[in-house]
Amino acid sequence: MKTSGFAFLVFTALTGAALVVAAETVSPAVRARQADMKEISAAAKAISEFFSGKRPYQASEFRRNVDVISIRAGEHLVARFATTTSAAGSDAKPEIETDRDKFAELARQMEVYANRLRDSAEEGGAMPQSMRMKASEAIDGGPFAKRKDKAPDVDAYSSEHAFHMMLQTCTSCHAAFRIKRK
């Protein structure tokens, strides 16, 4: 009795504030995009586990996880932040409103890399070597790096490189447009 009462207090201390906000003031728009981000995050984790070998590679499952991300990227992601930016219970920065082009570009890049990730998935009981990053890609700045000499060719990207580039869009967008919580 005493133990469970204590556990309840600890639980409330950790989650109480968040629960109150969630129940009373967080708008459906904010909830929907946070739910999207959680799905994106879970799928990205699954994909990273296919690459690390923690999860047995299966092309269909790999693609399914990529699709979870791709359908939430690009225009869909932009629309999620179209009318509500900073709001109660949201970590979105007001800069989304003042730098819409940059936000949209990152959302678009995320989709481009996700599409490449899906297209480069190959059948196989184990992950085919061809999906792995090529030595030359380690020094590639990516298709959106500022380069004048030649147009980037995302279609030539290995799956692994496309995945790394996609994760960079998460980091870039969060750095610019998401409030950091401790």
25: contact with ligand HEC by CB under 6 A: no
The yes or no reply on residue 165 touching ligand HEC (CB under 6 A) is: no
Give the CA angle between residues 162, 46, 180 to the nearest 5°: 80
First-to-final CA distance of the chain? 33
Structure tokens at 15: 């989650």
Residue with tokens 């003031």: 25
Give the shortest CB-158-to-ligand HEC separation in angstroms.
Answer: 18
| Tokens of residue 136, six digits | 């030359």
Of positions 11, 25, 38, 98, contacts ligand HEC by CB under 6 A: 38
Among 103, 113, 144, 157, binds ligand HEC (CB under 6 A): 103
Q: Which of 77, 112, 127, 154 forms a contact with ligand HEC (CB under 6 A)? A: 77
In angstroms, give the least distance from the CB of 170 to ligand HEC: 3
Q: How far apart are CA 172 and CA 103, in angstroms?
A: 10
Distance from C-alpha of 94 to C-alpha of 80, rounded to nearest angstrom:
14
Q: Does 66 bind ligand HEC (CB under 6 A)?
A: no
Give yes or no for residue 31 binding ligand HEC (CB under 6 A).
Answer: no
